[in-house]
Structure 1
Amino acid sequence: MAAEISAALPATGDASADALTPALRGLLATLRLRPRRALGRQGLGHHASRNRGSGQEFAQYRAYESGDEPRQIDWKLYARSDRFFVREAERESPVRAWLLLDTTASMAQADEARPQFSRFDAARQLAVCVFEIAQRQGDACGLVLCGGSGLSLVTPGSGPRQRDRLRHALATATAIGEWPKAEVLAPAWGRIGRGDLVIALGDCFDEAAVAQLVRLAHAGREVVALQVLTADERDFPFADGRRFVEPEAGESLLGDGPALRADYLARFAAAQRTLSARFAAAGIRHATHVIDQSPGQALQQLFGDRAR
């Protein structure tokens, strides 16, 4: 598929890749990273039971202790009692999430209508959204970068410093080369525990990448796949003759856009149906994001109320 639609040069990216609008931030506040499987780990289920924390539902008051955040203090109760009390809320048991980002050369593809914003920029924006959701619910989130540069890994953690580490890793990542060989990825797969949540972001054009996700799912990992496509891949709007270049292997094809369009769209739709069926058979939740759309729709599909 990628060979027929990679006409644009790799984009350099722009600041909008990390820009979360107020509307998008509002949506993120309603989303949760909640695995379907409530597999126990260290005596706790993944969002299957409740414990005390800083969640949404009030549970009880307790006396203020050193280290508590001032925003947790009930100031109205302090005015009545002249003592500091902290509001405790119920929060769901923690999830350990891994964000798996495809950093191969095909991720640098951009639309002709917006060459400064690539598929990789959109994927990084989605990754930041996932980090924000995890940060809000106090869950540990890590990052695995897979591409021509090999393997880069940020161990799961939580809190503002972890968010900064993840954002820095995204900002310095580049989309080059091909999907790494299985032996290169083995150290990362060994770190992803049974019951961990894996959120994969990529174009899903690499057979090896899709096969790895299926293997992870069969090995008991909760896998969510978010496919990122360009609008040109969806619409094939080319109205003239051109050379189509496969960005990873470098192979090229000369062709006439209007003459190729009907056949391309039919085969692309068939390939998408095959991919969806393959993910469904492996128990992998799947959504598609096209980079000319807001990321909210795909995120809502995977992490909104209906998904749960």
Structure 2
Amino acid sequence: MPWVKGWRARILSPTCLSRWDNRPRSEGSERFSMPAAFDHPYLDLARMEMLRRCRLLPRGTAEGSFAGPHRSRFRGTAVEFADYRQYVPGDDIRLIDWKVVARADKYYIKLYEAERNLLSHLLIDSSGSMEYAGAVTRTESKLAYASRLAAALAYLVVDQGDQVGLSLCSDRLQDHLRAGAGWTHLAALVARLGQAKASGDTDLGHCMGEIFSRSSKRGVVVIFSDFLGIDESFWRGVDLFRRTHNDVLLFQVLHPEELELPELSVARFIDCEGSGGSFTAEVDVVRQSYAAAIKAHLDLVQAGAATRGCEYYLARTDFDPYPFLKSCLLGRVR
């Protein structure tokens, strides 16, 4: 249906109703050790505490460029000590350093040179339809909500000693930050999120091809989009990453009014991308056909993800982002 590609309803009648700390952490340091002086609208450090037990982990092996906490096919005979990290269920208990346990009263394991870090890349759709924030029930825009989720994920990745990159995409690659590690890198990434503007059409497939050409390591690719303007080129882009054994996570970010039309008598439906055309209709007249169209679209995206072994999550902009992200990460099967 013409209004499924990023519509914006407009009421026609009033009666229709810091600083960053780059010092290395000590052996017994807690997670989330970034100074509280850091402040950004997209990253609430106090609420990040509920994600304390969450990690973005690869399902397979990692291919990073420096020592990290993940299994690697490059594991060799090197035994040079690299770092510590907190024990998580499934780790080899023979690697626990009991001296550190005695001092910190927490379990920490030793990491060695042969272990590799995880590379994560966050891709955010910044096309025009991501500007939508509701006609009746106002929330933050889809782009802002996606950025909030991305900032939290980036924090987790950096905090676990891994690397993360960022791309903002519409019909072209609007911004690209190569994967890096450390709090200074995270500061730059979150700043890029804060500068993002929703505009232009959607061509995620083209952007994914360009990102893939710049990537030399496999890891985890996380895509945030409403997926309203995708076509076969998008799935070909997903296939590029899946064929090279990247984990791919799809977060479909939608406003609740896009899932179910609000209670209005008359509304104007505007194509936020493409031609920018619009039409006016009585909401109750189109409600049933719209519901069928959006359901078919959701089913299509979920089926495409399942066929390719991707993880799919529906992210409504009225969801509290932190418990939502916690449920997604704790529900993942390594």
TM-score by length of 1: 0.79
Q: 1:121-132 to 2 correspondence within 5 Å?
A: 121-132=144-155
Offset of 1:253 from its aligned partner?
2.1
Aligned counterpart, 1:99:
122
Describe the SS at the equivalent of 1:2.
Answer: coil
Offset of 1:302 from its aligned partner?
3.4
Describe the SS at the equivalent of 1:286.
Answer: strand
Query: 1:8, 1:20 → 2: CA distance?
Result: 32
Q: 1:96-175 to 2 correspondence within 5 Å?
A: 96-115=119-138, 117-148=140-171, 150-175=173-198
Offset of 1:199 from its aligned partner?
0.6
Offset of 1:248 from its aligned partner?
0.6
- Is the CA contact (8 Å cut-off) linking 1:8 and 1:115 kept in structure 2? no
Q: 1:1-308 to 2 correspondence within 5 Å?
A: 2-3=4-5, 5-7=7-9, 18-20=42-44, 22=46, 24-38=47-61, 47-48=70-71, 53-57=83-87, 59-60=96-97, 89-90=109-110, 93-115=116-138, 117-148=140-171, 150-180=173-203, 186-208=209-231, 210-211=234-235, 212-249=237-274, 250-308=276-334
Describe the SS at the equivalent of 2:144.
Answer: helix
- Distance change in 2, residues 1:46/1:35 (3 Å): farther
- Distance change in 2, residues 1:184/1:117 (3 Å): closer
Question: What is the RMSD of the two structures over their aligned residues, measured on CA atoms?
Answer: 3.4
**Runs of 4+ with >6 A deviation:** 42-46, 72-77
- Distance change in 2, residues 1:97/1:171 (3 Å): same
- Distance change in 2, residues 1:216/1:26 (3 Å): same
- Distance change in 2, residues 1:307/1:296 (3 Å): farther
- Distance change in 2, residues 1:17/1:114 (3 Å): farther
In structure 1, what residue type is equivalent to 2:245?
G
Describe the SS at the equivalent of 2:121.
Answer: strand
Offset of 1:21 from its aligned partner?
6.4
Offset of 1:288 from its aligned partner?
0.9
How many residues are treated as equivalent by the alignment?
A: 284
- Is the CA contact (8 Å cut-off) linking 1:17 and 1:117 kept in structure 2? no
Choose 204-213 or 158-167, whichever is displaced more: 204-213
Offset of 1:305 from its aligned partner?
5.0
Query: 1:204, 1:220 → 2: CA distance?
Result: 22
- Is the CA contact (8 Å cut-off) linking 2:43 and 2:152 kept in structure 1? no
- Distance change in 2, residues 1:254/1:219 (3 Å): farther
* Structure 1: segments with no counterpart, 5+ residues: 10-14, 63-71, 78-86
Query: 2:133, 2:40 → 1: CA distance?
Result: 14
Query: 2:322, 2:157 → 1: CA distance?
Result: 16
Describe the SS at the equivalent of 2:85.
Answer: coil
TM-score by length of 2: 0.73
Query: 1:160, 1:21 → 2: CA distance?
Result: 13
Query: 1:279, 1:16 → 2: CA distance?
Result: 32
In structure 2, what residue type is equivalent to 1:296?
Y
* Structure 2: segments with no counterpart, 5+ residues: 12-38, 76-80, 88-94
Offset of 1:25 from its aligned partner?
1.0
Choose 271-280 or 96-105, whichever is displaced more: 271-280
Question: Residues 134-176 of structure 1, C-alpha deviation per residue, up to 9 Å, x if partnerless?
Answer: 1221110000111256432111111110011101111111110
- Is the CA contact (8 Å cut-off) linking 1:35 and 1:197 kept in structure 2? yes
In structure 1, what residue type is equivalent to 2:83?
G
- Distance change in 2, residues 1:157/1:215 (3 Å): same
Question: Residues 3-59 of structure 1, C-alpha deviation per residue, up to 9 Å, x if partnerless?
Answer: 4732259xxxxx99515263x412322211112222556798972269753421383
Identical aligned residues as a percent: 22
- Distance change in 2, residues 1:123/1:38 (3 Å): same
Query: 1:288, 1:16 → 2: CA distance?
Result: 25
- Distance change in 2, residues 1:55/1:4 (3 Å): closer
- Distance change in 2, residues 1:204/1:45 (3 Å): same
